[in-house]
């Protein structure tokens, strides 16, 4: 598939504009509340979340932010728009050690927890547990957002799970450290009490099971926040906190001092210390990627822009031409790390032969413990009587089984359609990839809008025929377009990101670095043996 120079230029300009839009989209989470909120923090002697992170991590290193797209126009009646989800999460390097960092965004309704905030917090803890990353909580939260309490308290994946995860990780040797920079009330106080070591700031940090108004209501006692649970109380009297400091800067330095004594992290895989950059840059990637997500691509053009030296060793390259190549499998080096690749090709429709080949390849990668990158651009498996008789359901199920059971670190990178069962076989969120990243070209829905419209239209026509009624073709046409527009909107990465169906939208320029860093984090933990259960060969 060779594009004309005009098409390549159009593609490049389109994605350049889309990625610029994404960068503007991010700014809203970076600057919640604008100047007014910055002045409020300054009056309290506080710094915003990302400035605290910059003080904490090693100089010259980058913060690997996750879940930045959470909460945008999420639609809660009481709070419909929560840029960033009310929490900053990501990985920072401290004394050369990768740490998962959580910072309450106190410019968003005093750092309260919405359902999406809880989900984001739990997602970051899941990543930390899977990758063996020390957790650092910079806590300043008014607790649960009370109007939505039934969506926050008290099911197994709600607010209490935060503290369950802290204790379970601590028991497994994954350190939990807290710097309180504000109020931590009721359940939120456990962020301080459950930490392996915690730090509180004089006249700024508070932790108590009940604040002054509740204490007065419950037992009639009049007490100040400082008397109930200030830094002095918990470091000098109750023992609920371990370290007493006087400023946020002193607090972040104390965290660094604590972490300095932790052992160095291991890298549990083979890796070359030097590597060659790709022969083709992100500009080539943008030029070869059609603006229409449903136009066919040559995924080799994608791989050559992220692989070291643009080298890719393909598996069964000549198997079942025209059908077996709807998914491309093979190995590449990514910043010196050997990575297995499973990549949707052409239109992305998965034929039986491609599913068969992919299953073999995933099992091989599980056997030799090679991490897997799934490059997803598939609208689904091929349908029809020929495919069903040839076993597309069985071989598609084998892809799902292999993806589910392989124990190597997996990352999914969505560069186009991401529909139905193909989301499953290509390692969507339900199949526990370490990370899921999307591009502005991604569309994640149960099926395409065009297909959904056709299915529902067919049902409507059938119902009208049964009742002996005529079909209003104008209304059907209007309905069809509405369905297409609705699915395109609901599948857009802004919307799926708002609900945390993925860990972030990345620009084409960021892709190689973001994917490589994800595998670096995933490979801190040893890779266990894979066991695949019973295939229906």
Query: Mind listing the pLDDT tens digit for each residue in 257-274?
Result: 999 999 999 999 889 999
What is the Rg, in whole angstroms, of the alpha carbon atoms belonging to the chain? Answer: 25
Task: Tell me the average pLDDT across 429-441.
Answer: 98
* Contact criterion met (CB below 8 Å) for 450 and 146: no
510 contact partners, CB below 8 Å, separation of at least 6: none
* φ, ψ of residue 354 in degrees (nearest 5): -65, -40
Q: Burial-class residue 114 by CB neighbours within 10 Å (0-12, 13-18, 19+).
A: buried
pLDDT at 465: 85
| Strand spans (E) along 142-268 | 176-185, 197-201, 206-208, 243-245
pLDDT beyond 80 at 3 = no
The closest alpha carbon to 213, from 203, 234, 228, belongs to 228
pLDDT at 470: 87
The closest alpha carbon to 255, from 174, 170, 198, 195, belongs to 198
**Percent with pLDDT over 90 in the chain:** 88
The closest alpha carbon to 88, from 36, 147, 31, belongs to 31
pLDDT beyond 80 at 478 = yes
pLDDT tier at 1 (50, 70, 90 boundaries)? very low
495 contact partners, CB below 8 Å, separation of at least 6: 489
Distance CA 488, CA 230 (A): 50
pLDDT beyond 90 at 15 = yes
In the chain, what is the greatest distance between 2 CA atoms, to the nearest angstrom? Answer: 83
* Contact criterion met (CB below 8 Å) for 226 and 203: yes
pLDDT digits (tens, 9 = 90+) for 66-102: 999 999 999 999 999 999 999 999 999 999 999 999 9
The DSSP secondary-structure symbol of 537 reads -
* φ, ψ of residue 402 in degrees (nearest 5): -65, -45
Q: Is the dihedral of CA 437, 440, 446, 447 positive or negative?
A: negative
pLDDT at 361: 98
Element housing 126 (H / E): helix 115-131
Indicate the range of 35-39, 270-274, 375-379, 457-461 predicted with least confidence.
457-461
**Percent with pLDDT over 70 in the chain:** 99
String of b and e for 243-278 (b: at least 16 CB within 10 Å)?
Answer: bbbeebeebbebbeebbeeeeebeeebeeeeebeeb
Secondary structure class of 378 (helix, strand, coil):
strand
The DSSP secondary-structure symbol of 57 reads S
* Contact criterion met (CB below 8 Å) for 137 and 195: yes
Secondary structure class of 331 (helix, strand, coil):
strand
pLDDT beyond 70 at 537 = no
* Contact criterion met (CB below 8 Å) for 119 and 71: no
Element housing 464 (H / E): helix 449-466
Helix, strand, coil percentages for the chain (3-state, nearest 5): 45, 20, 35
Secondary structure class of 216 (helix, strand, coil):
helix
Q: Tell me how crowded residue 48 is: count the other CB atoms within 10 A of its CB.
A: 20
pLDDT digits (tens, 9 = 90+) for 373-407: 999 999 999 999 999 999 999 999 999 999 999 99
Distance CA 308, CA 332 (A): 7
Q: Identify the bridge partners of residue 327 per DSSP, sorted by sequence position.
A: 344
* φ, ψ of residue 96 in degrees (nearest 5): 75, 5
Q: Tell me how crowded residue 73 is: count the other CB atoms within 10 A of its CB.
A: 11
347 contact partners, CB below 8 Å, separation of at least 6: 294, 296, 326, 379
pLDDT beyond 60 at 230 = yes
Residue 89 has which token pair?
A: 């999460």
The closest alpha carbon to 516, from 415, 419, 435, belongs to 435
Q: How many CA atoms lie within 13 A of 299 on its CB side?
A: 26
Task: Tell me the average pLDDT across 192-213.
Answer: 95
36 contact partners, CB below 8 Å, separation of at least 6: none
Distance CA 251, CA 234 (A): 15
The DSSP secondary-structure symbol of 319 reads S
pLDDT beyond 90 at 440 = yes
Distance CA 379, CA 293 (A): 10
* Contact criterion met (CB below 8 Å) for 369 and 408: yes
pLDDT digits (tens, 9 = 90+) for 314-356: 999 999 999 999 999 999 999 999 999 999 999 999 999 999 9
The closest alpha carbon to 349, from 317, 377, 378, 315, belongs to 378
pLDDT digits (tens, 9 = 90+) for 264-320: 999 998 899 999 999 999 999 999 999 999 999 999 999 999 999 999 999 999 999
Element housing 342 (H / E): strand 337-344
Task: Tell me the average pLDDT across 248-252.
Answer: 98
Residue 283 has which token pair?
A: 């500009």
| CA torsion, ordered 286, 290, 291, 294, to nearest 10 deg | -140
């Amino acid at each position: 598939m060779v594009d004309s120079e005009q098409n390549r230029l159009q593609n490049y300009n389109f994605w350049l504009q889309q990625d610029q839009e994404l960068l503007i989209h991010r700014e809203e989470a970076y600057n919640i509340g604008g100047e007014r909120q910055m002045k409020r923090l300054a009056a309290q002697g506080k710094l915003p979340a990302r400035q605290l992170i910059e003080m904490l991590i090693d100089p010259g290193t980058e913060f690997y932010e996750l879940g930045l797209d959470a909460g945008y126009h999420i639609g809660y009646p009481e709070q419909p728009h929560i840029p960033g989800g009310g929490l900053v999460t990501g990985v920072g390097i401290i004394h050369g050690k990768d740490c998962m960092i959580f910072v309450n965004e106190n410019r968003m309704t005093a750092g309260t927890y919405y359902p999406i905030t809880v989900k984001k917090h739990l997602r970051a803890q899941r990543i930390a547990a899977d990758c063996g990353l020390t957790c650092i909580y910079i806590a300043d939260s008014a607790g649960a957002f009370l109007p939505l309490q039934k969506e926050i308290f008290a099911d197994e994946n709600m607010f209490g799970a935060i503290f369950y995860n802290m204790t379970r990780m601590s028991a497994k040797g994954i350190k939990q450290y807290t710097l309180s920079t504000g109020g931590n009330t009721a359940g939120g106080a456990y962020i301080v009490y459950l930490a392996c070591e915690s730090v509180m700031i004089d006249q700024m940090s508070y932790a108590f099971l009940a604040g002054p108004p509740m204490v007065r209501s419950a037992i009639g006692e009049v007490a100040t926040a400082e008397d109930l649970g200030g830094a002095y109380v918990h470091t000098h009297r109750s023992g609920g906190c371990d370290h007493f400091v006087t400023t946020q800067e002193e607090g972040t330095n104390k965290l660094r001092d604590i972490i300095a004594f932790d052992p160095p992290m291991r890298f549990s895989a083979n890796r070359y210390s030097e590597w060659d950059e790709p022969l083709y840059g992100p500009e080539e990637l943008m030029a070869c990627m059609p603006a229409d997500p449903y136009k066919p691509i040559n995924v080799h053009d994608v791989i050559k822009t992220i692989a070291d030296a643009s080298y890719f060793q393909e598996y069964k390259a000549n198997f079942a031409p025209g059908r077996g190549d709807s998914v491309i499998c093979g190995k590449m080096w990514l910043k010196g790390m050997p990575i297995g690749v499973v990549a949707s090709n052409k239109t992305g429709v998965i034929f039986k032969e491609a599913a068969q080949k992919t299953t073999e390849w995933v099992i091989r990668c599980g056997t030799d413990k090679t991490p897997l990158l799934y490059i997803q651009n598939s609208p689904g498996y091929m349908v029809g009587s020929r495919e069903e008789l040839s076993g597309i359901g069985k071989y598609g199920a084998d892809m799902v089984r292999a993806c589910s059971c392989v124990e190597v670190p997996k990352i999914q990178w969505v560069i186009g359609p991401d529909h139905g069962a193909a989301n499953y076989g290509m390692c969507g969120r339900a199949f526990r990839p370490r990370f899921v990243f999307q591009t502005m070209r991604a569309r994640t829905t149960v099926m395409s809008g065009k297909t959904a419209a056709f299915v529902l239209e067919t049902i409507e026509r059938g119902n009208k025929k049964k009742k002996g009624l005529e079909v209003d073709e104008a209304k059907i046409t209007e309905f069809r377009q509405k369905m297409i527009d609705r699915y395109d909107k609901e599948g857009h990465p802004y919307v799926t990101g708002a609900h945390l169906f993925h860990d972030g939208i990345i620009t084409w320029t960021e892709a190689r670095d973001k994917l490589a860093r994800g595998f670096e984090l995933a490979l801190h933990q040893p890779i266990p043996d894979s066991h695949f259960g019973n295939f229906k060969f």
